[in-house]
Structure 1
């Protein structure tokens, strides 16, 4: 087993690294890594329905889609991520096994005096509060299992970044289930830094797997991972455009009156728009509805479209920035 202590904190790079080792290596892999603040959404989720877009933008939180299913999770440097990539032979109906890959984590915590448990479908908890969510992806005869370990994360940021109005979106995408959460560090009997705890996890894995050896990314590895990150994980199309079809309805109140946008979005593009409200304007908003159809549901693209109009002719005393707020 290759044991990788990955010090890169770019979420796009780290998710690409998982895919790179999954699809291009034959060896089994265990990797520990951390991300700078980011929301990592599940493969089958509607990204905009999972994030507080205003909070995310104001706090420079990155948003990246992963290969695995499940719900959206918040990462920061107080959170440790662990990845197993294992070769599996035999019955492919039994490839998904969350307990198998979370057991080593539970053993580390129990050695540290913490009564951590596996609960539900794919969670680890302490005193009924979640500190780890897990997900898996199967590729040929290899399984990628990864999970989060909230160690000293900023839990208020986690709550705020994932706080979305449930009435805003109507879709068939997989929804995240919100749980009470806790940090591992709050339950330790001796103080540890996040990096010291990371070392404990790696040591336990290397003792557990007798064929394990440390592996450092080569220049070729880094170059290939960077390319994959640029081609997939850093693109708007992967992170937002892959979202299932959804309806968005949002109402804002401005000095110029109330404005409501109802959007149908498919494959990341606005398919249909209806605008309602008690605002005033001398031109027909159907012009704007027609212009927005076919535009990517992404702020720069929408802003470029709106700036082609003298918006005040359609929405008296309402700015482009306010309209943008109503569309996201």
Structure 2
């Protein structure tokens, strides 16, 4: 079972609540898009979901700039890219995600936010909506919101920090030390707070129950039943999209990155222009005597996917004459510490 469907009776609109039982971000985002594809006229769905150890970036963000991708993946985490805009967020099982998926004619941001705010008020926390799509308490952010529109349907989704690991949030979302100039959208640093720090009795379970009741109160009707929800078969192709390197990294907007280092044999500066996750052009500047190797480095890197293992493999494959192996060795050791 991947999700549970809660059905209303006598609702003024066709209102449903669907809770995902999966903690896989690629599945949950695929299900979110599947529900959007299938939402009907006069229908609104509240979709509740959680991801485990995940960084989710906005549609137009630079994956390498927003996230320490290698560290995240080395520690068993996943990188995901969503359809909506906005900044990068960290998800774990101390965070609850909500999505209002609806017929566009039913879109009412104030009403949707009241559903969230009144649920939180039931738990003893008086929160408010800030000017940048955030929910805050005394200026501290516990929820960010983002939006995605189509011609006749849309969704509004957000996070709720209940008891999230803020240490991991800080570690994974730190911007790379490398100097990156990107055409993507940067995340805005914000002070955040867990709701459980404001009221120790707030849990994911209590938050979920209050959201259900608040949604029911605002959209009318009574509970009819809860049953297993079987996602349509087309979710498999969407899962493949969200899990793919091409979507998570290849959709990164064009950006430039520069690596520079002085070695015993000379200084080297490598400038890369990356488009759609691939190295589109390479410029190498150096005062080293190994002119042919400098030219070869640029030639071997161009058109590669911007992946650490691919780049290191390409560097290792550069042919060198006897006595020049130190050049390749030093480059590999250096780039191994710099590439995500």
Residue from 186, 189, 192 that aligns with 2:197: 186
| Contact 1:3-1:215 within 8 A present in 2 as well | no
CA gap 1:196/1:256 in 2 versus in 1, 3 angstroms? farther
Other-structure match for 2:338: 326
Q: 1:108 aligns with which of 84, 106, 119?
A: 119
Alpha-carbon separation, structure 2, partners of 1:203 and 1:76? 24
How big is each residue's C-alpha offset from its partner over 1:120-170, in whole Å with a ceiling of 9 and x where there is no partner?
A: 120001111101000011122112010000110000111111111476211
In structure 2, runs of 5+ residues without a counterpart are 1-14
Output the CA distance in 2 between the equivalents of 1:210 and 1:52.
Answer: 44
| Partner SS for 2:234 | helix
Structure 1 residue 145 and structure 2 residue 145: aligned? no
Pairing partner for 1:229 from 239, 242, 248: 239
Counterpart among 15, 18, 23 of residue 29 in structure 2:
15
Q: How far 1:224 moved relative to its partner?
A: 2.9
> Which digits, 9 at most, give the CA deviation of each residue in 1:76-119, with x for residues without a partner?
110000010111239xxxx6x64432221111111222121101
1:73 positional shift: 0.8
1:99–1:306 Cα change, 3 Å: farther
Q: Does the 8 Å CA contact 1:256/1:317 hold for their aligned counterparts? A: no
- 2:247 is aligned to 238
Deviation, 1:278, is 7.0
Question: Kindly tell me: are residues 287 and 227 of structure 1, through their superposed partners in 2, closer, same or farther at Cα, counting changes over 3 Å?
Answer: same
- 2:140 aligns to what? 129
Contact 1:258 1:277 (C-alpha < 8 Å) held by counterparts = yes
Q: Report the aligned-residue RMSD.
A: 2.6
State which drifts further: 140-149 or 98-107: 98-107
CA contact (8 A) 2:117 2:128 kept: yes
Partner of 2:259: 250
SS at match of 2:101: strand
- Change in Cα spacing, 1:31 to 1:290, as seen in structure 2 (3 Å) is same
- Partner-residue secondary structure (3-state), 1:77: coil
Task: Tell me the equivalent position of 1:24.
Answer: 38
Whose radius of gyration is greater, 1 or 2? 2
Deviation at 1:45, TM superposition (A): 1.2
Provide TM-score, normalisation by structure 2: 0.85
Contact 1:282 1:313 in 2 (8 A): no
Structure 1 residue 60 and structure 2 residue 70: aligned?
no
Structure 2 SS opposite 1:285: helix
Relative to the length of structure 1, the TM-score reads 0.88
Q: Partners in 2 of 1:196 and 1:222 — Cα distance? A: 30
Which shows bigger deviation, 25-34 or 146-155? 25-34
Q: Match of 2:214?
A: 204
SS at match of 2:86: coil
- In the TM superposition, what whole-angstrom CA distance separates every residue of 1:13-69 from its partner, at most 9, and x where no partner exists? 001111101012313211111001111111111111111234323322211110101
Give the deviation of 1:325 after TM superposition: 3.4
Assess if the C-alpha contact under 8 Å between 2:120 and 2:210 holds in 1: no
Aligned match of 2:182 in 159, 168, 171?
171
8 Å CA contact 2:300, 2:318 repeated in 1 = no
